Amino acid sequence: MLLISKKTLYRNLLGGVLSLSAVASALADPASDAVAQVAAALGGADRLEQLHNQVVSARFTGYAPLEAPTPGGTPEKIDGVNYQMTLALDGSRYRTQWQLAIDFPLQASYDFSEIINGDHGAVLGVDNLLQVPQAPMQAIRLAARKMEYLVTSPVEIVKAMLAAPATVTLHGSRETRKQNVSVLGLRKYGREILLWVDNASHLPLQATYWDANPSYGDMEITTRYADWLPADGIMQPMRIEQVNRDQLLVHIEVQTVNFNVTFIRDPFAVPAELSVPLDEKLFNIGLKYSNWFHRFLLVGIPFDLDQFAPESVFLQPVGQGVFYLRGYTHHSLIVEMADYLLLFDPVLLEERTQAVLPVIKRQWPNKKIRYVIPTHFHVDHSAGVRGYVADGASLVSTQADRKFYRDVLDARHVVYPDLLSLLDADARLLTIADGADYVFDDGQRRVRLLQIDNRHAPGLIVPYIEDEKMLFVSDLFSPGLFSAPLPPQFSFWALDLYNDLLTRGLDIRTLVGAHGGVGSYQEFLDAVRATFALAP
Ligand SMILES: [Zn+2]
């Protein structure tokens, strides 16, 4: 028997692979041929190699289907967004000047720069409600941007293929409805990005990859390229669209393109005081949900904060057996019943749920969450639900959201498995009737689920804890977040809550917000009355 150390064996194997690939490229394998054809169509491999930067200006529109008033309703549109991006075209350096004049969910204007340089990044200028003038870029955002920028630049994809042939696979040709296409795969960021190339023009038609989505499960993101025009001898798609099945997610209208621009100062230099070590865990969360984060980074809410670490979970008693489960942007409420717990708003993502559950188990070793109740289906308030269901909780839904939640519980999570998909648990969904309030009653405490007539998400649930005279309110009003006059949209949502509560005649003292904090009911009444000049 021949004795050989593992190290030597590995080196020999690697050497074999390397020399084999050298031979293969010398003989021009089919994958290299296919890449060479795309490169030629884009302007030629030599020309592509000479490119060391590109400056693109474009209009960006994002869509948020899971923020529509009803499941399947017209998606909220995030428009009024312009950007000018400088790409080094090496997959690691970008500078983007964003100009936002958004009106969802809040009317706001932001003008800021993002710099990405390898593992480092920075945000210069105020980009969200927190009003921080400059900050290191969170690893979540760094990852989400890198992934999205790559797939919106076919030149960058093809340059990556030319630079690293070993990461490229040819998946053969196939016929689609209209075209005969070749499919090339590029391995990057721990996944394979497929580039679909038209066999007639050899121009890329689209790139596809699998992203994770907490509500839809495995989500195939298709980035389509259209309206190709030459710019500095390089072909550039002037219209870029991202879709999932038939749902439009992103629309980009390119306005100007320049290559090999001379910069006096390095546009990719991250200020030393903003350089922080890369957090690998957060980077991987950003990659996994890249499209989700990319679109939500443009709504003025700091979705890239780390709300997935134990340090971001704050459990604060706000009444007898009532606990406010706070994060930075989104909060939940726990109500202790005689034998079990109620959890309102499974916020954000599976990773948030997995950070929260150990805290709950420590606090209540002998009680379990029996019911998890999203106040409404909007993704930021409901998408952590599968982790609670995997832990044994039943999901409580209104009639209107029943089908949506059934789909969430049954969604395919094979590419990115979560706990529920691994356990193959019995996922229970309970539906409350329309009309009369549903009441949890353990003989000591009554918690009523008020279905509020409102324009934000019709049927949104506001739980009323009778003995504490307390409401938990999401989105319709956020105590402490805005002072009167309340901003547009928020003001109408608050008015709807006000009018609905007027008809009920409940004794209410305290409002706890899924955003904001804890406030008195009187403050809420005063804010609405001051905004709309209503008499008490
Ligand atoms: Zn909402």
- Assess whether pLDDT exceeds 60 at residue 3: no
Q: How confident is the model over 82-92, as a mean pLDDT?
A: 96
pTM: 0.91
Distance 126 CA to ligand 1 centre (A): 24
Output the pLDDT for position 13: 42
Nearest to 211 by CA among 307, 103, 285, 262: 285
CA of 345 relative to ligand 1 center, distance in Å: 11
Ligand 1 centroid vs 298 CA: distance in angstroms?
A: 16
- Is the pLDDT assigned to residue 1 strictly greater than 60? no
Please determine, for residue 21, whether its predicted confidence score (pLDDT) is greater than 60: no
Using DSSP's 3-state secondary structure scheme, residue 49 falls into: helix
Mean pLDDT (whole number) for 164-193: 92
Q: Which residues surround ligand 1, an ion (CB under 5 A)?
A: 378, 475
Distance 456 CA to ligand 1 centre (A): 6
The pLDDT value recorded for residue 72 is 87
Helix (H, G, I), strand (E, B) or coil at 46: helix
d(CA 217, CA 205): 25
Domains of the chain: 28-296 (2.50.20.10), 310-532 (3.60.15.30)
Model pLDDT for residues 476-529, shown as the tens digit of each residue:
999 999 889 999 889 999 999 999 999 999 999 999 999 999 999 999 999 999
Q: Calculate Rg over the CA atoms of the chain.
A: 26
**Burial call 378-387: b when 16+ CB within 10 Å, e when fewer:** bbbbbbbbbb
Position 27 scores a pLDDT of 53
pLDDT given at position 156: 97
- Reported as type and span, the H/E element at residue 111 is strand 108-117
- Cα of 67 from ligand 1 centre, angstroms: 6
Of 102-111, 254-263, 280-289, 433-442, which gets the smallest average pLDDT?
Answer: 102-111
**Ligand 1 centroid to residue 358 C-alpha, Å:** 26
Q: Tell me: the pLDDT tens digits for 226-261?
A: 999 999 999 999 999 999 988 999 999 999 999 999
* 513's tokens: 């917000």
